A and B are shown apart, each in its own frame.
Chain A
């Protein structure tokens, strides 16, 4: 392992909670509905993060707890029953309904598992009910997806068929690319989790080899291991290096020679390097500070340093699973400063002291930093853009070079904000 510097920090945080992951999960599975059992704050959070107004009727909503629901849990269960009945009557096309726990529902100990079980019996053969927690007292941002996937695992049938299982939400076009490349490598039985239809869950067992596409799936990985799946240890498929190592690790698990992998992917690598050039020109030597939010920070730091030649000041992450991130950490330059957790005020002090060229941060912090003359990139964009794979390496770099390029174009340096 390279000599990186691990730090932990505690204090006030500035991050999204796990409910936010509903925004991309519902798009991935168009036959599923996500019902948050929570407060007006939960509803307001999701609509603020998701631009809900563009939907005639979104496939997510909140059962908002009211005073009378807090008085007695029995009544709350009954009320939830009523809300679910109304919802299913209104949306008969829904095949899977996720009951998503929130901070208030966790604190009052609303038993969503029991509610889901009862509903499963009643709507047998029509709608499946799954429950998980996206609460901010337990989860940060992408961890919501970890919870949702973990909740689906018990519904996955067993099979000893040999297969490669890609785990973690991918953009559909990226998933297609990956499947094609694996096909060229000679791995033809490739499935994805989550699937494109909530009812088409892959079967899993001891011959399932799991290749993670996202770094934030600790709990899901643990449960897949319990089901006998083999977890392929690899960096994540961000950038050319990460994707190459990722393909190599998969090939090794399927006893396919390295030579074959290089033969298939080297044309891809060559053109990706070409495409990366113009971005590297801008990013090279620029100093980067990543604030914690998505758990993608370590992989992004590795890509931006190793392939785009940026200098890393600090790499924040909301949570660090050293075992899962082992391969990534190995690729980081020596003395990289990783900070797990957050004290947002102290971290912003460090941002100002270190005078970075680019800060990756949440939307609440971006404009205030820009107003101080510090260029920013919103971390939420990484989870909404197709950034995985060799073919997308230049697009990924582009997300970071664009704010810097813009900064070069705009010549007004003293800004008066209001």
Chain B
């Protein structure tokens, strides 16, 4: 049993939902109680999706447990298939259903449908979200391509030459609730296209079961997010001989290395090597004298494995920072993160406990934190600037603008996103230095928001200010008591409005009732 106040990853069936929701013509029947439907809001609120996730929850109740929950599963599967007419069906269970062992996947297979059915067994008491997503994607690919395994010859990465066309690749791994996947895919496709390489299928994001069956039309796979796609890439390699890439194109050096790796695998000549260095503004921005102050800035990094490792490399080699802490919540990536940490002479932190991360952050005394939304909050409490580099997702991580992390534009985005908080940090020092000057008396507000001590100061000064008005209107005790209860950020407005109302009506003393009269009057 593990005490958890907050968790970086959801349960594995949420990972399965990420795959199902990313794709077209798929439906997922999830044997689960009603509360599990909360997961829909991850997609409709955080990702702002205009469609519901393609998920039917059986929503069994306590009173069903004595009866036949298996019948309930079958009824839901039947209704879902009739209503949504999917081309492939995922069937699985969440934590509670796992305990009652109805085996919904087996039930579905016995119902006589002729569409492919994937029976998902995702152990809820030992695995987490990313594992669930990876396993679901893998099982789906396996199910849809199984029949083609024996008949197919091994796919040579050089096949494109024989076929007399441009080389084709699949981009595997991008999914909903993945960090900036939407834009990374556009950036990577653009880069590949410039190099004369066509994209065959992007999956799971935007793919249908038909697209999955077409995966073997490509020569190699781009494993863009190993957390989601590595197991699938490995299976495609084993069964179809498809090679896959291992470099993650985040940062200039990795993007160039990625392009090299793709060319080597496809035996394609790289003709624009010199150009590549100038595709992003990051190298020059980093070199320009203005960036001198970035040298040796102490940076603490925590996130999913892929983004944390990439961030460490960029921080050290491309921005000249000093990495003083590196960690991940992805146990599956622990080995790689440890290796990177060792190269940087720091000890890797592998944990799912954000309080441990906060402690480590405090001890490392960094000047910049690169982390998840949770580290942003921890850093805010410690008064340290922070930029978010990794899931878990937050509405802020789905910006309206084009904002990839990968490729050339990704490097530009990273430069701005990491350096601006530091500049703000500098501003913070200035505010601190000059805060006693008269220009600052009104409380020039910190971009870090109100740290604990600030809030207290503001509240205190507010309370002091809630004296009688200039116009000689008296605030009675009840009026003042009521005013204090108004949240501080609107208190000023409420005060002004009430006084305005009192003057208008010729009321000499403001009581709590006057406050409500004014509230009603102005509403």
Residues of A at the B interface (CB closer than 8 Å) are 11-20, 35, 38-45, 47-49, 52-54, 56-58, 60-67, 69-70, 76, 79-80, 82-83, 86-87, 103-104, 106-108, 135-138, 140, 172-173, 176, 180, 268, 271-272, 274-275, 278, 345, 362-368, 370-371, 391, 394-395, 398, 415, 417-418
The listed residue (B5, B6, B33, B50) touching A103 by CB distance below 8 A is B33
The listed residue (B5, B50, B512, B519) touching A52 by CB distance below 8 A is B5
B47-72 interface bits toward A, Cβ cutoff 8 Å, 1 = contact, 0 = none: 01111100011111110010000000
- Residues of A contacting B49 in the complex (Cβ-Cβ under 8 angstroms): 367-368, 417-418
Query: A70 and B99: CB pair below 8 A?
Result: yes
Given A368-B49, A417-B50, check contact A67 B125 (CB 8 Å): yes
Query: B1 and A366: CB pair below 8 A?
Result: no
State the Cβ distance, B356 to closest chain A Cβ, in Å. Answer: 13
B38 interface hit (Cβ, 8 Å): yes
Query: B34 and A17: CB pair below 8 A?
Result: yes
State the Cβ distance, A149 to closest chain B Cβ, in Å. Answer: 20
14 contacts between A and B (CB under 8 A): A40-B9, A44-B39, A54-B377, A62-B4, A64-B4, A67-B123, A104-B96, A176-B485, A271-B521, A275-B520, A363-B40, A365-B40, A365-B52, A415-B50
B282 interface hit (Cβ, 8 Å): no
CB-nearest residue of chain A relative to B59?
A: A13
- Residues of B contacting A364 in the complex (Cβ-Cβ under 8 angstroms): 37-41, 44-45, 52
Query: A278 and B57: CB pair below 8 A?
Result: no
Query: B96 and A365: CB pair below 8 A?
Result: no
Q: How far is the CA of A62 from the CA of B37 in the complex (A)?
A: 19
Q: How far is the CA of A285 from the CA of B503 in the complex (A)?
A: 37
Query: B10 and A40: CB pair below 8 A?
Result: yes
- Residues of B contacting A366 in the complex (Cβ-Cβ under 8 angstroms): 44-45
- Residues of A contacting B33 in the complex (Cβ-Cβ under 8 angstroms): 17, 103, 135-137
Q: How far is the CA of A57 from the CA of B3 in the complex (A)?
A: 12
Q: Which 6 A-B pairs have the closest CB atoms?
A: A417-B50, A17-B35, A136-B35, A364-B40, A371-B50, A39-B95
B401 interface hit (Cβ, 8 Å): no
- Residues of B contacting A268 in the complex (Cβ-Cβ under 8 angstroms): 516
Q: How far is the CA of A56 from the CA of B49 in the complex (A)?
A: 30
- Residues of A contacting B39 in the complex (Cβ-Cβ under 8 angstroms): 44, 48, 364
Query: B34 and A13: CB pair below 8 A?
Result: yes
Inter-chain residue pair count (beta carbon < 8 A): 224
The listed residue (A42, A57, A138) touching B62 by CB distance below 8 A is A138
B14 interface hit (Cβ, 8 Å): yes
Query: A44 and B14: CB pair below 8 A?
Result: yes
- Residues of A contacting B182 in the complex (Cβ-Cβ under 8 angstroms): 418
B373 interface hit (Cβ, 8 Å): yes
- Residues of A contacting B363 in the complex (Cβ-Cβ under 8 angstroms): none
Query: A40 and B7: CB pair below 8 A?
Result: yes
Query: B2 and A66: CB pair below 8 A?
Result: yes
Query: B11 and A44: CB pair below 8 A?
Result: yes
Q: How far is the CA of A76 from the CA of B1 in the complex (A)?
A: 7
Max count, chain A CB within 10 A of own CB: residue among B79, B94, B99: B99
CB-nearest residue of chain A relative to B13?
A: A41
- How many chain B residues sit at the interface, stated as a range, is 35 or more
Query: B96 and A103: CB pair below 8 A?
Result: yes
Contacts of B147-202 to chain A: CB distance below 8 A: 182
Q: How far is the CA of A107 from the CA of B33 in the complex (A)?
A: 11
- Residues of A contacting B44 in the complex (Cβ-Cβ under 8 angstroms): 363-368
- Residues of B contacting A172 in the complex (Cβ-Cβ under 8 angstroms): 485
Query: B38 and A48: CB pair below 8 A?
Result: yes
Q: How far is the CA of A44 from the CA of B41 in the complex (A)?
A: 12
Query: B3 and A52: CB pair below 8 A?
Result: no
Given A41-B10, A137-B60, check contact A48 B41 (CB 8 Å): yes
CB-nearest residue of chain A relative to B2?
A: A64
Query: B14 and A63: CB pair below 8 A?
Result: no
B335 interface hit (Cβ, 8 Å): no
Given A271-B516, A345-B79, check contact A70 B36 (CB 8 Å): no
Query: B124 and A41: CB pair below 8 A?
Result: yes
Query: B48 and A417: CB pair below 8 A?
Result: yes
CB-nearest residue of chain B relative to A18?
A: B35
Query: A63 and B3: CB pair below 8 A?
Result: yes
Q: How far is the CA of A415 from the CA of B48 in the complex (A)?
A: 13
- Residues of A contacting B37 in the complex (Cβ-Cβ under 8 angstroms): 13-16, 362, 364
State the Cβ distance, A188 to closest chain B Cβ, in Å. Answer: 16
Query: B95 and A104: CB pair below 8 A?
Result: yes
- Residues of B contacting A365 in the complex (Cβ-Cβ under 8 angstroms): 40, 44, 52
Query: B6 and A58: CB pair below 8 A?
Result: yes
The listed residue (B9, B10, B36) touching A136 by CB distance below 8 A is B36
State the Cβ distance, B83 to closest chain A Cβ, in Å. Answer: 6
State the Cβ distance, B480 to closest chain A Cβ, in Å. Answer: 14
- Residues of A contacting B9 in the complex (Cβ-Cβ under 8 angstroms): 40
B1-36 interface bits toward A, Cβ cutoff 8 Å, 1 = contact, 0 = none: 111111101110110000000000000000001111
- Residues of A contacting B95 in the complex (Cβ-Cβ under 8 angstroms): 38-41, 103-104
- Residues of B contacting A398 in the complex (Cβ-Cβ under 8 angstroms): 523
- Residues of B contacting A103 in the complex (Cβ-Cβ under 8 angstroms): 33, 35, 95-96
State the Cβ distance, A316 to closest chain B Cβ, in Å. Answer: 14
The listed residue (B4, B36, B45) touching A43 by CB distance below 8 A is B4
- Residues of A contacting B229 in the complex (Cβ-Cβ under 8 angstroms): none
Query: B517 and A271: CB pair below 8 A?
Result: yes
Query: B50 and A367: CB pair below 8 A?
Result: yes
CB-nearest residue of chain B relative to A271?
A: B520
Given A12-B59, A57-B5, check contact A367 B45 (CB 8 Å): yes
Query: B38 and A49: CB pair below 8 A?
Result: yes
Given A13-B57, A54-B377, A138-B61, check contact A87 B38 (CB 8 Å): no
B100 interface hit (Cβ, 8 Å): yes
State the Cβ distance, A141 to closest chain B Cβ, in Å. Answer: 9
Query: A39 and B40: CB pair below 8 A?
Result: no
B479-495 interface bits toward A, Cβ cutoff 8 Å, 1 = contact, 0 = none: 00010010000000000
Given A61-B3, A64-B2, A345-B79, check contact A140 B34 (CB 8 Å): yes
- Residues of B contacting A275 in the complex (Cβ-Cβ under 8 angstroms): 519-521, 523
CB-nearest residue of chain A relative to B355?
A: A57
Query: B34 and A368: CB pair below 8 A?
Result: no
B126 interface hit (Cβ, 8 Å): yes
B473 interface hit (Cβ, 8 Å): no
Other A-B contacts than A12-B58, A41-B36, 9 sampled, CB-CB below 8 A, are: A17-B34, A39-B96, A40-B9, A45-B38, A69-B1, A103-B95, A104-B95, A137-B34, A366-B45
Query: A65 and B1: CB pair below 8 A?
Result: yes
Q: How far is the CA of A108 from the CA of B160 in the complex (A)?
A: 56
CB-nearest residue of chain A relative to B84?
A: A345
State the Cβ distance, A233 to closest chain B Cβ, in Å. Answer: 28
Q: How far is the CA of A363 from the CA of B7 in the complex (A)?
A: 21
Query: A58 and B5: CB pair below 8 A?
Result: yes
Given A67-B126, A106-B62, check contact A15 B99 (CB 8 Å): no
- Residues of A contacting B11 in the complex (Cβ-Cβ under 8 angstroms): 39-41, 44
Query: B4 and A61: CB pair below 8 A?
Result: yes
- Residues of A contacting B287 in the complex (Cβ-Cβ under 8 angstroms): none
CB-nearest residue of chain B relative to A380?
A: B41
State the Cβ distance, A371 to closest chain B Cβ, in Å. Answer: 3
Q: How far is the CA of A16 from the CA of B14 in the complex (A)?
A: 16
B76 interface hit (Cβ, 8 Å): yes
State the Cβ distance, A308 to closest chain B Cβ, in Å. Answer: 14
B128 interface hit (Cβ, 8 Å): yes
Q: How far is the CA of A387 from the CA of B172 in the complex (A)?
A: 49
- Residues of B contacting A48 in the complex (Cβ-Cβ under 8 angstroms): 38-39, 41-42
CB-nearest residue of chain A relative to B47?
A: A418
Contacts of B380-413 to chain A: CB distance below 8 A: 381
Query: B4 and A12: CB pair below 8 A?
Result: no
Query: B35 and A16: CB pair below 8 A?
Result: yes
- Residues of B contacting A345 in the complex (Cβ-Cβ under 8 angstroms): 56, 79, 83
Q: How far is the CA of A366 from the CA of B516 in the complex (A)?
A: 33
CB-nearest residue of chain B relative to A78?
A: B1
- Residues of A contacting B96 in the complex (Cβ-Cβ under 8 angstroms): 39, 41, 103-104, 107, 136-137
